[in-house]
Amino acid sequence: MYKKLFGNRAILKNKWEIELLRKANAIVMEVLLALKEEVKPEKSTFEFEELALRICEKKKVKPAFKGYRGYPYALCVSVNEVIVHGMPKKEIVLKEGDIVSFDFGVIYEGYVGDAALTVGVGEISETAKNLLKVTEEALYKGIEKAHFGNRIGDISSAIQRHVEAHGFNVIREFVGHGVGRQLHEPPEVPNFGKPGKGPKIEIGMVLAIEPMVSAGDYRVEILEDGWTAVTKDRSLAAHFEHSVAITPEGPKILSKV
Ligand code: MF3
Ligand code: CO
């Protein structure tokens, strides 16, 4: 999400709320994996929107993004240089060698699930493969730091370090976030920063950790439609996101089937 849209007091969740968030996120992951299965050349990005909506109907859940701040679709589909918030379109057709990110959310019993992943279309370049690998690894490096007593900056710096060690760059314009009854809650979870800085990580926080990584420059441009965020230099970008609960036993990934 965009930086600076919310305040600074995290809304802590009890066990029961975390269970509902787990159910919401399990559905999100189920949809994301179904979308991933369908990735092949010749598919338009709109076909994935339709599939996501069909699964929501079947599961009787509401998509979380549709109507959120005026976003017109249930799904974000971001191809190649599109970092996030790509809008599904019949005219955008996948081809061999592309990379495509799906970002999806649902509302289940009033609680929001939010996750994202990036996949290749058929055979992709070595750089693209590496970009996907490093971005997903960075997500897990961040999650490893999501312990009670640490600070948000510990997550941020772990992500940034891993990404930059592999010659890529983290996007600064968008950040991870708390998630609960609202899609975007405090605190912000940037993908860059310093260890030991930022808000304390507390038990009961649920954080959407979401590294967005450019194979080139990290600067962002927003296209005419007001949503599509691309890398200014049009280099490839990847995005992986999990919603993670902070428990006394450590971080628990909720976005799993
Ligand atoms: N996972 C994205 C985010 O946290 C989804 C938001 S898309 C929007 O920003 F359209 F709902 F804004
Ligand atoms: Co998010």
Q: Whose CA is nearest to atom 9 of ligand 1?
A: 1
- Residues 146-163 as b/e (b if ≥16 CB within 10 A, e otherwise) read bbbebbbbbbbbbbbebb
Decide whether any atom of ligand 1 lies within 6 Å of the 65 Cβ: yes
- Could you report the per-residue pLDDT of 1-13, keeping only the tens digit for each? 665 656 678 999 9
Q: Model-level pTM greater than 0.75?
A: yes
Decide whether any atom of ligand 1 lies within 6 Å of the 1 Cβ: yes
pLDDT at site 143: 98
Decide whether any atom of ligand 1 lies within 6 Å of the 229 Cβ: no
pLDDT at site 2: 63
And the tokens for 234?
């049009």
pLDDT at site 37: 98
| Topology of the domain comprising 15-250 | Creatine Amidinohydrolase (3.90.230)
Decide whether any atom of ligand 1 lies within 6 Å of the 114 Cβ: yes
Ligand 1 mean position, distance from CA 147 (Å): 25
pLDDT at site 6: 65
Decide whether any atom of ligand 1 lies within 6 Å of the 6 Cβ: no
Q: Whose CA is nearest to atom 2 of ligand 1?
A: 1
Rounded CA separation 130/231 (Å): 18
In this prediction, the residues of the chain whose per-residue pLDDT falls under 70 are 1-7
What atom of ligand 1 comes closest to residue 1's alpha carbon? Answer: 9
| Cα 48 off chain centre by | 17
- Ligand nearest the Cα of residue 64 is 1
- Could you report the per-residue pLDDT of 76-97, keeping only the tens digit for each? 999 999 999 999 999 999 999 9
